[in-house]
Amino acid sequence: MLSGKKGNVLLYLIMGMSLMASLGLGMFYVNTTSTFSLFGANNLNKAHYLAESGIRYALQKLRDRSLSNTTTAGTDYTLSNTTKGKFNLKVSGVDVGAITIDSTGVSNPDTPFEVRKTITVIVSVDEAAALVKAPFSFAGTGSGGMAALAAPAEGVSGKSGVTVDTVNKQMINLGSGQSGTAGCVWYQGWADSNGSDCINGKCNFNKGIRAYFDFQYDTPSWQGDGFTFAIISGHDKNKGTNMAPVYINDYTDCGGGLSEYMAYAGPGVSPPGKGLQPPKIAVEFDPFINIDPDTGLDNPDWCAPYSRNDLAFSSGKHSTFVYWGDNLYYCSPSSNTYDDNRHGNGNITDDPKNPDGSNAGAFYLINYDDPIHAGRLVYRMEIDRIDIPPVPPASVGGGTYIMRVWMQDYANCIINGCPDSNGVMLNDTSKKYSNAPTFQQTVTMSQASGWHEKFDRILFGWTQSTTNPQAVIISNFTINFKNKNDF
């Protein structure tokens, strides 16, 4: 009997050990599979970024004329700081015009964990030309000039009213003297100014900008609905993934709808009808007071006409900053853009408040019927974009945007240049202008809201819409992007 019991104990012991071994093997398999799955995803992302690096490297070499056709096996370029990554470039068409670049990123090359990702782009002769440095201007040539500006192919229904002199590179006409128009015009070129790295019009915002242009209202009875100079997000929504880029805004996008939206607010065409998505900053030039003719009041309904709060704001023709309102899906079709230039909408935390009557220093009353202001005006805008580093646990960081605008009579500045106390002329965007601004405002965007990060890439240009005939002539435009020490 005793020997039989000992045999049973041994049997149970063997069964227990086998069960534990099976469980251990299963846990090892699960953990190993999970680890290798994560490892594979990271390698795919790394290969994607290596391929992107190859595209940028190829463009740089094309622009300094040190890259030629490599149409067969291509050329390997191994990163100098690691042996775990490289990209392979195949380039064709350098001598004929349309240039094809195939860039293959290779993560962990020549190992069992090697992963490859290929990106192909086709660039024009202009895009492969040497980048023109700051400032961008109508007088610029090649990819750094304003020849790439054009009215968008889509963005609003009906007439855009926007015409661009791309031959002489002298002016933009907003409205073109027509009634019932709405349109936008964005820079679409490839250029560089202090690291702006503009590609298809999308530029690094970096530390901010300085922009200058002069404009003349050539509008009958000053009844046009006005225009904006706008900086809008060109951020890639898929940044940090291995998915194809999808941008918040593109140079084909525009607002639209009611003329009082100035094509800065509103849904644009439908589909997609998304308008110009936040974050965005603009200076509006508003020569028409939108007041309900039946009541003599502002309309409180965001989605209806006469709802810009013009009467509550100033009861005068004006220029001021506008952002993106309350960012609520309030109107139909579902769009968060209907209040983007409505005075007083927004808040002081994540969605900057559009100035209203309480922001005395953030707007400028312009009497367009005054002979001085009814002529030609000059405009200069500076934005200092300052990162706020996170200070845990109380702060998550973000950014501060200090905006200053100067507006002067053209006749005065064309005579003496309107120099500041340091001798810097108003139209010299390469240097800081120190005279007191005509109006100014500072807003802060927290990192938690995501707005500051989404301003890492931007587009810049003009928007306009009007019911009555309008013609605004924009000329002598220049813009500089600031470097890190340029404040």
**Three-class DSSP category at 52:** helix
Distance between CA 445 and CA 451 in Å, rounded? 6
Structural tokens at position 29: 């398999």
Instruction: Concatenate the DSSP letters of all residues of 331-357 into one string.
Output: BTTTBS-TTTT-TT-SBSSSSBPPP-T
What pLDDT, on a 0 to 100 scale, did the predictor assign at position 25?
47
Cβ neighbours, 10 Å, residue 222: 16
On the question of a cis peptide bond just before residue 135, with omega within 30 degrees of 0, the verdict is: yes
**What six digits make up the tokens of 64?**
């300094």
3-state DSSP call for residue 361?
A: helix
Residue type, 142: G
pLDDT of the residue at 147: 45
383: nearest Cα among 445, 476, 464: 445
- Positions in the chain whose pLDDT score sits under 70: 1-41, 64-65, 71-72, 80-83, 96-97, 125-158, 166-170, 219-222, 242, 269-272, 314-315, 334, 348-349, 367-375, 393-395, 487
Pairing of strands 99-107, 115-123: antiparallel
Q: Of 464, 473, 468, nearest to 228 (Cα)?
A: 464
Contact 143, 483 (CB under 8 A): no
With residue 296 as reference, give the H or E element that holds it.
Answer: none
Q: How far is CA 479 from CA 40, 209, 213, 218, 430, in A?
A: 44, 7, 9, 24, 8
Q: What is the pLDDT of residue 142?
A: 43
DSSP string, 128-168: TSPPP-SPEETT--GGGBSTT-B--SSSSSSB--EEE-TTT
277 neighbors 285 (Cβ within 8 angstroms): no
Q: How many residues does the chain have?
A: 487
Cβ–Cβ < 8 Å for 188, 200: yes
CA-wise closest residue to 120 among 74, 153, 68, 168: 74
At residue 216, the pLDDT reads 86
Domains and CATH numbers, the chain: 46-129 (no CATH), 136-481 (2.60.120.200)
Q: Minimal CA–CA distance to 184: which of 201, 199, 204?
A: 201
Q: Whose structure tokens read 């065409």?
A: 269
